[in-house]
């Protein structure tokens, strides 16, 4: 599968730090290569770098990048997640798996130019909901769940179990 990139539009550090952090963490956990965030936010970058350092993986974050900059030279397909797009189950078969994709998720109202620039405007449901949920559902379906338990070769890993919390620190083995 080709690389998946995320473009987060409308990040407001004073209001959206947790939501944008969760967009980044969810996209990382579900197979994305990296995220661009339109507003510069060094603290957000630091937090995501820390997770990648501890839990591994090849994931990057760059803040202060407008959607126009991020999409300008992008060679793959642009997927915009919106309540007003084509149903996810109808759109997924049309989105190539052998080309890079950039998924655009907004915080507030997205400029109409984004709808025009996107190769696919995709809805995940037709009710108001979180962009984190829409991104997670889309990525899980797009990757067919393959990224959920992938080994990212980090210093730490969580071992799923029915009861309890098991975190393995590979440096202390």
Give 52-111 pLDDT, tens digit per residue.
999 888 999 999 999 999 999 899 999 999 988 999 999 999 999 999 999 999 987 889
To the nearest 10°, report the CA torsion of 160, 163, 164, 166.
-20
Look at residue 40 in the predicted model and tell me its pLDDT.
94
Burial class (CB in 10 A: 0-12, 13-18, 19+), 113: exposed
First to last CA, the chain: 33
Architecture (CATH level 2) of domain 4-148: 3-Layer(aba) Sandwich (3.40)
pLDDT digits (tens, 9 = 90+) for 31-53: 999 999 999 999 999 999 999 99
pTM > 0.85: yes
- Measured CA to CA, the distance from residue 75 to residue 82 in angstroms comes to 22
CA-closest candidate to residue 59, choices 124, 3, 117, 112: 3
> Of how many residues is the chain composed?
173
The pLDDT tens digits for 104-128 are: 999 878 899 999 999 999 999 888 8
Predicted confidence at residue 43, as pLDDT, reads 94
What sign for the dihedral angle of Cα 36, 124, 28, 55? positive
Sorted by sequence, the CB contacts under 8 Å of residue 170 that are 6+ apart come out as 154, 155, 156, 157
Cα separation of 44 and 18, whole Å? 9
Dihedral sign for Cα 12, 16, 17, 23, please.
negative
Strand partners, 36: 7, 62
């Amino acid at each position: 599968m080709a690389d998946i990139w995320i473009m987060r539009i409308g990040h407001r550090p004073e209001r959206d730090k947790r939501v944008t952090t969760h967009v980044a963490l969810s996209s990382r956990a579900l197979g994305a290569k990296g995220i661009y965030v339109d507003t510069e936010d060094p603290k957000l970058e630091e937090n995501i770098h820390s997770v990648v350092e501890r839990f591994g993986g090849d994931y990057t974050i760059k803040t202060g990048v407008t959607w126009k900059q991020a999409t300008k030279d992008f060679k793959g397909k642009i997927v915009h997640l919106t309540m007003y797009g084509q149903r996810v189950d109808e759109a997924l078969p049309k989105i190539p798996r052998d080309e890079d994709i950039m998924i655009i998720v907004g915080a507030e109202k997205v400029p109409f130019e984004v709808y025009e620039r996107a190769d696919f405007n995709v809805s995940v449901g037709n009710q108001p909901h979180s962009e984190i949920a829409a991104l997670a559902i889309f990525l899980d379906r797009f990757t067919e769940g393959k990224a959920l338990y992938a080994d990212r070769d980090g210093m730490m890993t969580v071992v799923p179990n029915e009861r309890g919390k098991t975190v393995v620190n590979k440096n202390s083995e």
